[in-house]
Structure 1
């Protein structure tokens, strides 16, 4: 039996978190969600996900700073971070943050699953 892949979704919108949880658990992933980016390194280190989805608008620390914090951390920087936003400028934001890729909202369920497979297969 293969180990269940772990996904961590950071988003300040509870509905998005619930939707992601529903979709991803259904697809066989283990999921953790957080509505804020406070103490981001410890939140991520405590779970050690295989992939992270990072919203742009987060309380405490925005998505860009949160992503940079993960990417500057020696034990976490290998984890792919997918920038996750409805912002029109998402590709520029993802690049500035140092994210591995991005997914626009509203997202297609197939696109969500494809990007996960691409980074953690």
Structure 2
């Protein structure tokens, strides 16, 4: 098992507006935030940065979020990463949970719900 820095959070969303908004919210909880808009680059970034929490959108170009979550869950290196999926999709929760996510929040989500997850993981 890796020793992860519990204050590190990686956010992956192809929508730069959402990415920047999420960064501000997560930083307000005291976390160190790293962002990756290109889902195809995410796994290599996770190997380098080793965050405790990954916040990932399900529907993205290049690689869908659920495909990435399945890859992460199949790799023992990422067993201890808490994965929060976000999506505006009607079936997003079932897709996320079936892929192996720890938690799902529907867009638009309540900021308090997001902060609750972040605080749980980084504290």
TM-score (normalizing by structure 2): 0.88
Q: Give, in whole Å, the separation in 2 of the partners of 1:26 and 1:101.
A: 20
Large movers: runs of 4+ above 2 Å:
117-121
Aligned residue for 1:119? 121
SS for the counterpart of 2:105 is strand
SS for the counterpart of 2:39 is coil
Q: How does 1:51-62 map to 2 (within 5 A)?
A: 51-62=53-64
- The size of the alignment, in residue pairs, is 119
| CA-CA distance at 1:93 after TM superposition | 0.9
Aligned residue for 2:32? 30
SS for the counterpart of 1:5 is strand
* 1:10-34 deviation digits (Å, cap 9, x = unpaired): 1010000110111122221110111
Residue 15 of structure 1, aligned match among 2, 17, 23: 17
| Structure richer in helix, relative to its length | 2
More divergent stretch after superposition (11-20 vs 68-77): 68-77
Q: How does 1:1-121 map to 2 (within 5 A)?
A: 5-121=7-123
Greater RCO structure (CA 8 Å; 6+ sep) = 2
Q: Is the 8 A contact 2:8 2:122 kept in 1?
A: no
TM-score (normalizing by structure 1): 0.89
Q: Give, in whole Å, the separation in 2 of the partners of 1:54 and 1:97.
A: 12
* 1:74-120 deviation digits (Å, cap 9, x = unpaired): 11121011111111112211122111111111111111110122334
